[in-house]
A and B are shown apart, each in its own frame.
Chain A
Amino acid sequence: MTHFSLQTGRGRAAAAACSPRELARQLACTRRDFLRTAAGLALGSTMLAPSAMARALAPRKKRKVVVITFGGGARDQETFAPEGQENIPHLMRELIPQSAFFTQVVNRGILGHYVATASLVTGVYETFNNFAAVPPANPTVFEYFRKDLRRPPSDAWVVAPSNGFNRIGESNHPSYGGGSGATVILPKHLLTAAMSGASGDFDHLLRDNYETPFYAPELGGREFELEQLENLLKLSVNDFKTHARTLSSPDELSVYIARQLMKQVAPSLLWITMHDIDIAHAGAYSLYIDGIRRTDRLCAEIWQAIQTEPEYAGNTTLFILPDFGRDADDDSGGNGFQHHRTGDTLSRTTWMMALGAGVRPGVVFDRAMESTDLVPTLGSMLDFSAALAQGKPIPELL
């Protein structure tokens, strides 16, 4: 062991044995082989692309997209590897058989949740300080979508549990911004406002990120206010509070709000960021596993809502992907599942599933792609130009 460990919140570099490229390939193969045998999926490279099938399903005007970040990062061994499948029964039994599954999605950016999610949203590896309340530097998918398609503010929304995500809906790019982005709902923030004056233990609830306990940044930007709850979501503050008291986690609250949003506003572009899994930073493995199991269940609930809401049924594509993974057990620079600081292959290599309108179900694609490819893909699907994104459209979904 040497002194080469960068022990900050952003990085810790240390030993690893074989080449990242080879490790990434092995990871992808593991996922593909497992999925093929366990879920009966076909290998995508042997099949024709879905192509026109998608376009025939719904007119572009009605086409909707929901993106869920399987938040906080989860590793293969707790999810798709044989020993982890017990933690994701809904993904395995209900969603994967209906999905196109991409086994090797590589994130080459900074592995902090806000900056990584901002990179997903812009299609560019953003480089700002993960813990700063700043907007992305590059245009977001919401700005491309609204500007090119002339969509109103009500058509693009973000639901994020962490207060640090309040600026993610809109960039400060000189050609965009200025109210052209998404409205951001921070359910925890709403709940705090709603519970104002009531007694209770809010310190834990307000915890903004699991890496640093007690930190709750000042808010700013274009966020959804408590007063709009009743007007837009048709939800009284009392009903909101009452329902919140029945929920066990911030992500459950986010899904509750997202479903209300789908029912009352029906945005065409909805982005939901999960975060419960990141409790792993506290080092308690059982809580990390609980977070994965809860997120698995909540993803299925969103998919169920898509099937049952008339505005979404039949014309919606759902994307589910982690923002990144977590450190490998065998990297001595990290501490296994607890963090995502080493920048090792396991923490950079994730997966993505796409299901619903325009997606050929039951197919596995194991070529390498980057997490920045999502935004250009959404652009191609919805007919807007993600002109400044670094990624490339995923041909298997077009």
Chain B
Amino acid sequence: MLPGDLKPEQFKGYPPQARKLVTGCVAALQQLPLTFVPSLLREVIDYDFKFPPERNAIEKELANLNSLSPSQLKEWFQGFAQITPSPKLESVDWVNSPGLFVEQLSAHLWATHQLDAFRKAAIEYAGRLQAVAPPEPPPVPRLGIAVIGQGVDAHEEPLFRKLRAHGGYFSRVNPENGLETLLNTVAARAKAHPAPYGHWYIDGGEEADHDSALTCVSYGALAPERAVLLRKMHGEIEKPGMGPEALRTLLAQMRPADLGMGKSGKGDEVLDRFQVKLLTEGSGTQIFSTTFAQWAARETLRRAQPLTLLVRFAPRQRQKPMNELLSASQTNADLDPAGSLVDADMGSYYTYLNQQRLAGAEKSSFLVWFEGHNEAVAIGPAMPGGTQSANPTDLKQLLSWIS
């Protein structure tokens, strides 16, 4: 089937809000190339379970499509129209399974050397869309905080090498009540600027006491779901004919109930789905807590676009070397604090980069702190990059300087 054959009744399987939204723009969708439409539908089909900025972006994009004339649509999508899909792709039920289509399109683009053309078309489209429907600036400047190095006494290599160039490095930070100070700051912002899913606390271990105004996700709290998922993955992969791509497709179809979430019926469906995606789409998030924390922060920033984010990294399990794997003795998984510090240092840099991709980046601020120790980097509009200070200070002071 091609987009020109689309009819409103074909969306009857969509959740109610998504259905209402998409049936209002079928006429525009009919004029678009097959290489584009399923990518859009992949987002639309999950509209009911998306965060507010994502919903806003989808609404703007569809409104824009409805506003374009046939000749404008042709001009906007000529890059996609030049990409040749395979006949096999046309037979995929891309209305109801747009994610599956996009997976197969991706494989097709690589195999036919059309990936670069697709990238070019996507970049051009994104640029046009951004020009007519720019993202709204946040009501207050964003604040990102990364806490790294839990459980580490000392480190050999210098920390924050990638972040120092962007802000000030402080080597005599008073660590007393540091985490509490940061969580209180985040909670105060949540109360001063209330917004649904606007203020987040992510922990790579067990979550600390925190204000209920914060949206919280933690590796520790998801232990039962991770165990269920790993069991399912083991079970599936042992089935005849199961390969990595089939497994990926299966994981993409998982819902909170598949992992035992939401049994009480009082859960948060949007947050539950987000957490399931962290575990099923993120590579390594089921196994390494540092990977979970970094990926959760990335996806939170990309999708929820929060005003405030605090991510705290915790020690991950140690990767056993081969000789230990071969030994008969089975030991409990122990931790690798030193390796986790290196992971988290890079993870904090990626968190900063992802925050700076959002609207209002020029006013955003970021703080990374070596938990329980004296080192931190503070980044903000008023903080010169590449500077350092050995004067005594504390986290509260640093936050005031960058906000």
Contact = CB atoms under 8 A, between A and B. Distances in A.
A337 B322 CA distance: 23
A132 interface: yes
Contact of B350 (A111, A217, A244, A335): A335
Nearest to B100: A8
Interface stretch (B290-298, B368-376, B390-398): B290-298
A20 B286 CA distance: 34
B247 A289 contact: no
B123 A284 contact: no
24 contacts: A1-B57, A1-B302, A2-B125, A2-B129, A4-B122, A6-B105, A9-B248, A13-B115, A127-B111, A129-B245, A191-B326, A201-B320, A212-B244, A245-B326, A252-B322, A282-B283, A282-B288, A283-B285, A283-B290, A283-B295, A284-B316, A286-B336, A330-B353, A335-B295
Nearest to B240: A218
Interface in B310-358: 316, 319-328, 330, 336, 338-343, 345-347, 349-350, 353-354, 357
Interface stretch (B11-19, B35-43, B170-178, B254-262): B35-43
B320 A16 contact: no
Tier of interface size on chain A: 35 or more
Contact of A287 (B126, B243, B319): B319
A8 B107 CA distance: 8
Interface of A: 1-4, 6-16, 20, 83, 108-111, 125, 127, 129, 131-132, 191, 195, 198-202, 204-205, 209, 211-215, 217, 244-250, 252-253, 279, 281-287, 289-290, 329-330, 332, 335-339, 343
B322 A253 contact: yes
Contacts of B282: 283
A200 B321 CA distance: 12
A244 B370 CA distance: 38
A247 B288 contact: no
A186 to B, nearest CB: 15
B126 A2 contact: yes
A378 B234 CA distance: 43
Contacts of A129: 107, 245
B24 interface: no
Given A245-B323, A286-B340, A12 B353 contact: no
A286 B357 contact: no
A83 B327 CA distance: 37
B109 interface: yes
Between A1, A16, A252, the greatest number of chain B beta carbons within 10 A of the residue's beta carbon is seen for: A1
A351 to B, nearest CB: 21
B316 A215 contact: no
Nearest to B286: A213
Given A15-B126, A212-B244, 17 more contacts: A6-B106, A7-B281, A8-B103, A11-B109, A132-B243, A199-B330, A201-B320, A215-B244, A244-B326, A245-B323, A246-B323, A248-B322, A286-B338, A286-B339, A290-B339, A329-B349, A329-B353
B248 A2 contact: no
Contacts of A201: 320, 324-325, 330
B118 interface: yes
Given A212-B248, A252-B322, A335-B350, A14 B283 contact: no
A215 B237 contact: yes
Nearest to B330: A201
A8 B106 contact: yes
Given A8-B103, A200-B327, A212-B244, A13 B322 contact: no
Contacts of A15: 122-123, 126
B247 A215 contact: yes
Between B61, B302, B346, the greatest number of chain A beta carbons within 10 A of the residue's beta carbon is seen for: B346
B109 to A, nearest CB: 6
A83 B349 CA distance: 15
A146 B283 CA distance: 41
A109 B115 CA distance: 10
B376 to A, nearest CB: 20
Contact of B291 (A111, A253, A282): A282
A82 to B, nearest CB: 11
Nearest 9 A-B pairs (CB), nearest first?
A283-B291, A282-B284, A286-B342, A6-B106, A212-B244, A4-B122, A286-B339, A248-B321, A283-B284
A213 B247 CA distance: 10
Between B283, B336, B341, B346, the greatest number of chain A beta carbons within 10 A of the residue's beta carbon is seen for: B283
A7 B39 CA distance: 11
Contacts of A127: 110-112
Contacts of B321: 248-249
A129 B248 CA distance: 14
Nearest to A251: B322
A145 B287 CA distance: 44
Given A8-B103, A212-B248, A3 B40 contact: yes
B193 interface: no
A379 B295 CA distance: 45
Interface in B110-166: 110-113, 115-116, 118-119, 122-123, 125-126, 129, 161
